[in-house]
Amino acid sequence: MTKYGVFILTVLSLSFTAVHESNAQFINLQIRIEPEITAKVEQNLNFGELVINSGEKFIGLGDLNMGVFSIRALHTQSVFLSMNTTEALVHTNPFLNDEIPINLNIAYNNTGDNNANHSVELTGDLVYLPIYNNLENPNPSTVWQELYLYVFGTIEVGEVATGEYFSELTLVVQYD
């Protein structure tokens, strides 16, 4: 009978000790959630000042005046890209009907660096691309990566009124 009594006393003493020495802990947790995707214009496409009847003006891939967009997302994400353009630049004066024909192309670079020399020209109206696809470094050092888009092309300047001409390019980025 004494063995049984000692066992109960030990259990009660351990329970008492555990309750007596318990400490409360407080955790101050702050979470910063970044958006899943951001897009911004790094550089506008700029054909500069042109002379009336100067003919074709070409901005090629890699030229200083090409347009540059960046899309920042998780390196494991993929996006659907489509570009909507007009066929002509229009005069800023709404009473003039002069137009300058424009033909634009777009290329992308998803190797993690902003370098048009490593880009691939897009074909088709809707394209599905991974944000990051670098065969030399398949495991990037950061979770967030940037996909770069380069806009370039030609305009044909004919007999038009002097002034400023503009057009809008709409880049649609969808992600899942």
Domain ranges of the chain: 36-175
CB 79 within 8 A of CB 70: no
What pLDDT score does 34 carry?
58
Residues forming beta bridges with residue 83, ordered by sequence position: 171
What pLDDT score does 30 carry?
67
Q: In whole angstroms, give the CA distance from residue 118 to residue 154.
A: 21
Q: In whole angstroms, give the CA distance from residue 114 to residue 45.
A: 16
What pLDDT score does 10 carry?
39
What pLDDT score does 24 carry?
59
What pLDDT score does 25 carry?
65
Domain 36-175 bears CATH identifier 2.60.40: yes
pLDDT in single tens digits along all 176 residues of the chain? 434 433 343 344 444 444 445 555 667 666 666 567 888 999 999 988 888 999 999 999 999 999 999 999 999 999 999 888 889 999 999 899 899 999 999 999 999 899 999 999 998 888 999 999 987 788 788 889 999 999 999 999 999 999 999 888 888 888 87
What pLDDT score does 158 carry?
93
What pLDDT score does 104 carry?
92
